[in-house]
Amino acid sequence: MKKAAALFLSALMLFTSTVWAEDMSNMSIDEQSETAGAYFGEIIKYIKSNYVGEEVSTEALIHAAIRAVVGELDDYSDYLTPEEYELVKESEKTVWYAPEFECDLSGGGYPVVSSVPKGSRAYQDGIREGDTVRAIKGVTSYAIGEEEFFKSTTSDVAESIPMLISRGELSKEYTVNLVRFELHSVKAVNDMSAFNTKKQKFADESVGYIGISTFTSNTASEFSKALNDFRAAGKKRLILDLRGNTGGYVEEAIAVARQIVPNGLIISTRDKKGVLTNYSSDLKIKPYEKCVVLVDSMTASAAEIVASAMQDSGAAKVVGEQTYGKGVMQSVMSFDDIGVLKMTTLEYSSRYGKKIDGVGITPDVGVDKVLFVSENDSLDSENVIAALKFLGFRVDSENTVARNIGRYQAEYKLNVTYKLDGPTVSAMNYEIYTELMESDRILAAGYLCLLG
């Protein structure tokens, strides 16, 4: 496909340099489309008549052309062939059936069983790590690709499939039962002490935690169940964790918001023609006395819809880092026998008209991101200042970065150079890593907000 794309673009440059004569900006959309189609037809004819390299199918050139055109749009728009789109739909399933064991296909030969849970039916039948899968449904599995292996070993229903599995020189035909797997996007924690570490304690029994990793087709129903369970347990305060949630189904995010955002607007969307669509909540009473929403730099798209609605409605304080800033939505259009175009068609704004795209959501309570330091960092860089503050140093006109580094070096019996030398960087990064493993700073800040 890359070769086809390069070939098409090269031909396009050659052809347009000699043929392009009309100014298309004054044409209607239909006229522009017809003219572009005529130009493209001429390019196809030119390639087919004159290209002396390996033959490239017309279908490959069409796919390459569409991909190149969509590539001129934004980072969120994409073109998928029918085969690619099927893979995307498979990856979005929340329920599927597959073998209880996993296989490693990286060797290029037969798939090798890499893990078998003890107590599983497959383990009871005698399948073990290191066994090789010689055939699936009577077809050899030698050098099978991931896509083909996935299609051969997964199903939408519970069933059994035949597999020829060998160990050394011995081979045996197994009837492998496919078992149900389910993707859960909602994690509900009733007891906050589950997050306790040596450095952090969460003991308030009135606080419940719900984390949403992505918005799938069953997120809203899972969220509803978690809220009902918390209500039955008498929870009065809620931590909603949207960190690392890059989005998903917008309709599910809106359905989640309607369960927790007080009466009023959730978001407004606007299309290219300026048509405005409002999505609102009719929730009369806030379900929790206090609520916080945890976010980070990877909180994006549908997750930002929920976070912004909670913030603007006053239902929650947003705690953490500035969010990603993806305030646009994509629509999917299928073209028969050609493929699927996923294209940005809507931009949304928050309850009070705040733009999200390219901006993100500013937390009510900010928690600085702490990154590891480097010998190449300048002493006045935000990275070094944040690291020193994280390690307990005050940075101001009197307690300068250089002076703090000297104090750190003296405390850890390093050579006092007042510079970020190798031993100092190693010591600081090790301490930062150890602290981060023992403390969740954003969770702790959100918890304190609830108790304050």
Rounded CA-CA distance 394/379 in Å is 14
Closest CA to 310 of 219, 238, 206: 238
> Which tens digits make up the pLDDT trace of 280-326?
999 988 888 899 999 999 999 999 999 999 999 999 999 999 999 99
CB-based contact 187:215 (threshold 8 Å): no
* CATH code, 96-181: 2.30.42.10
pLDDT above 90 (res 452):
no
pLDDT above 80 (res 141):
yes
The band of 10, judged by pLDDT with boundaries at 50, 70 and 90, is low
What is the pLDDT, as a whole number, of residue 9? 52
Which own/partner contact pairs does 282-288 have at CB distance under 8 Å and 24+ positions apart? 282/258, 283/258, 283/259, 286/262, 286/315, 287/227, 287/231, 287/238, 287/259, 287/260, 288/235, 288/236, 288/237, 288/238, 288/260
pLDDT above 80 (res 5):
no
CB-based contact 372:429 (threshold 8 Å): yes
pLDDT above 80 (res 92):
no
Question: Residues for the chain: how many in total?
Answer: 452
pTM score: 0.79
Rounded CA-CA distance 105/107 in Å is 6
pLDDT above 90 (res 175):
yes
What is the pLDDT, as a whole number, of residue 29? 81
Quick one: CATH architecture of 186-336+343-366?
Answer: Alpha-Beta Complex (3.90)
Domain residue extents for the chain: 2-72, 96-181, 186-336+343-366, 382-451
Rounded CA-CA distance 207/229 in Å is 13
Helix (H) or strand (E) holding 15: helix 2-19
CB-based contact 301:254 (threshold 8 Å): no
Residue 78: phi, psi to the nearest 5? -155, 155
Cα first-last separation, the chain: 58
Mean of per-residue pLDDT scores for the chain: 90
What is the pLDDT, as a whole number, of residue 146? 87
Most confidently modeled range among 85-99, 264-278, 332-346: 264-278
pLDDT above 80 (res 15):
no
